[in-house]
Amino acid sequence: MKRSGTLKRKTPLAQGAPLKRTPMNRTSPKRRPAKAANDEQWRSETYIGWIKSLPCCNCGGPGGDPHHVIGLHWGLSGMGMTAPDSFAMPVCRACHRAIHESPELQRWQPTWLRHVISLGVRQFDGDIKEALLRAWAFIDSKEVA
């Protein structure tokens, strides 16, 4: 059907004040709850540098890739969490990937950690040594439970 001419409105257009300009409703970034003082994880660039110099705990090859303990249900790691540096061990890139994929390799982590911590206790003094001794005691408490 062909129309010749403009359509006529049945109701007139509302004429009032122009619309008020408001900013678009954008969602604000998700706020994370403030961390408690005891939630701070122990970090040490010196210790991690030393870890990188050690051979791989799994295959004995050149390490260079610090791996923080995962998958043991100790409450040290999880979504968005990394274990403290005192729970790090040297691994090569291939073994690091394998540990993340293999629960069997994850079961070796306490043994590897004890070995690395025993070396670290002889290597370091002060805060680093204290953190390593706390980590050793923590591992012992979890292994007994």
- Choose among 31, 39, 33, 101: nearest CA to 70: 101
Percent of the chain with pLDDT over 70: 87
Residue 51 · residue 90 · CB < 8 Å: yes
Integer Cα distance of 111 and 139 in angstroms: 10
Q: What is the pLDDT of residue 66?
A: 97
Residue 144 has a pLDDT of 82
Q: What is the reported pLDDT for 15?
A: 74
- Is the pLDDT at 37 greater than 50? The verdict is no
State the Cα angle at 70 between 57 and 116, rounded to 5°: 30
Task: Render pLDDT for 58-67 as a digit per residue (tens, 0 to 9).
Answer: 999 999 999 9
Distance CA 116, CA 81 (A): 22
Helices (H) and strands (E) in the chain, counts: 5, 2
Identify the pLDDT of residue 64.
Answer: 92
Kind and range of the H or E run holding 67? strand 65-68
Q: Whats the size of the chain, residue-wise?
A: 145
| Distance separating alpha carbons of residues 44 and 125, to the nearest angstrom | 13
The number of CA neighbours under 13 Å toward the Cβ of 2 is 1
Cα–Cα distance between 143 and 40 in angstroms, integer?
23
Q: How confident is the model at residue 52 (pLDDT cuts 50, 70, 90)?
A: very high
Q: In the chain, what are the domain boundaries?
A: 43-144
What is the DSSP-derived secondary structure letter of residue 88? E
Mean of the per-residue pLDDT values of the chain: 87
